[in-house]
Amino acid sequence: MKYDDLEVLAPAGDPERLTAAVDYGADAVYLGGKTFGMRAGPKNFTYDELKNAVELAHSRNVKVYLTCNTLPRNDEIPHFGQFMEEAVSSGVDAVIVADIGLLSLVKKYAPDMEIHMSTQTGIVNYVTASELYNMGVKRVVVARELSIDEIAEIRAKTPAELEIEAFVHGAMCMSFSGRCLLSQYFTNRDANRGECAQPCRWSYHLMEETRKGEYYPVFEDEKGSYILNAKDLCMIEHLDKLAEAGVTSFKIEGRAKSSYYVSVVTNAYRMAADILKNSPDDYKLPDWIKDEVFKVSHRNYCTGFFFGHPNDCQYYENSGYIREYDIAAVIEKCQNGFIYATQRNFFSRGDTVEILSPKTKFDTLTVEKLYDGDGNEIENANHAMMEIRIPCEKVYPENSIIRIRK
């Protein structure tokens, strides 16, 4: 195993989140255009924005992977040639596809383009992975249903040049590799086209046919039961085991998540991956790195299927997020003994905040004085996006995050 080849792959739902991923240590980002992508919620990227994104990422030695991982219908196929033309001219490093037909069209329209096969394909065995390699695929994103042992067997029985990518963090679908039909059935919003209504997060009751209006809980709680609700995935303490099994790309879920989420989680996995590279035989994380993933909005965590059939990946109480920290401000610059920042959430003079910069442990700071953009002393930063100043002698890089415990 070449630990120097390990990749931290971060989501980028829009230009702001792209910048966050690049600043906080991603080796590569994955993002979508306005079509053919599996996320309809984020803003995604216009062609011009995609060109700018690639230019920024490449200037920082970060790769860009473009998602075209929907399962397109007949009327969309004629538009795929233009999509690939724009992908090539923008300079993206690879495209992520889920459909065998699109795979053939990528080879037709962009024969030199690197191809990654999406988790939507449902790659669960070495025969499929090898055949995809024979068809020109450079990387496979294995299904979330696989154990570490099954991934290791795929690695052992496929060409060494084939790369293996696996999700290591974020939300999980209850359905096989995300190919869920519940959303379309209930709401006519197709999950496989980026419009999932997340019915797996809803509360369900039973109703007997002849007793309409009488609802019986599926579970013993009178509030009902979230029988399909999955916990979030978190493998930050087990990257060494994944690397030993042959995973070279650690993928973070979250193109629809905030730039704060992208910054914090990317930073945590960046530092974890660097520890693994430097000490592959003694992978141990300091507590503060492990704690970082709890400082973003998240559901309860689990390790998915990686260690066999999971017994603790469902959560039946509710589908809400745990959110103990807010982003208070983003630092624009540090100058003349002041932090200049843009407010994102309410905080006050006297509050103790944490300042997180890329590739380093956070600092703690008590806000003893607080000023508005004109230099007037204020008690609270209470207007969204207002300019603020905080006295501080330490210099932090641009886009460092000021956060506060709720």
Q: Locate CATH 2.40.30.10 in the chain.
A: 325-405
Task: Give the three-state DSSP class for 115.
Answer: strand
Two tokens, residue 125: 């065995």
pLDDT at 36: 80
For domain 325-405, give its CATH number from 2.40.30.10, 1.10.1740.10, 3.50.80.10, 3.40.30.10. 2.40.30.10
pLDDT at 201: 66
Q: Which of the residue ranges 8-17, 298-307, 339-348 would you say has the lowest mean pLDDT?
A: 298-307
Q: What is the overall mean pLDDT for the chain?
A: 89
Mean pLDDT computed over 272-280: 96
How far apart are alpha carbons 77 and 230 in whole angstroms?
34
* Pairing verdict, β 7-11 and 28-32: parallel
pLDDT at 337: 96
**DSSP per residue, 119-154:** GGG---SHHHHHHHHHTT-SEEE--TT--HHHHHHH
How many other CB atoms sit within 10 Å of the CB of residue 85?
13
What pTM was computed for the model?
Answer: 0.88
Residue 122 has pLDDT above 70, yes or no: yes
Q: Locate CATH 3.20.20.70 in the chain.
A: 3-175+230-302
Two tokens, residue 386: 């207002």
Residue 319 has pLDDT above 90, yes or no: no
How far apart are alpha carbons 92 and 27 in whole angstroms?
14
The answer to whether 246 touches 1, Cβ cutoff 8 Å, is yes
pLDDT at 172: 79
Residue 219 has pLDDT above 60, yes or no: no
pLDDT at 39: 54
**Topology (CATH) of 3-175+230-302:** TIM Barrel (3.20.20)
Chain segment 335-366, per-residue pLDDT in tens: 999 999 999 999 999 999 999 999 999 999 99
Residue 237 has pLDDT above 90, yes or no: yes
* Bigger pLDDT: 172 vs 311: 172
Residue 54 has pLDDT above 70, yes or no: yes
Chain segment 368-403, per-residue pLDDT in tens: 999 999 999 999 999 999 999 999 999 999 999 999
pLDDT at 210: 78
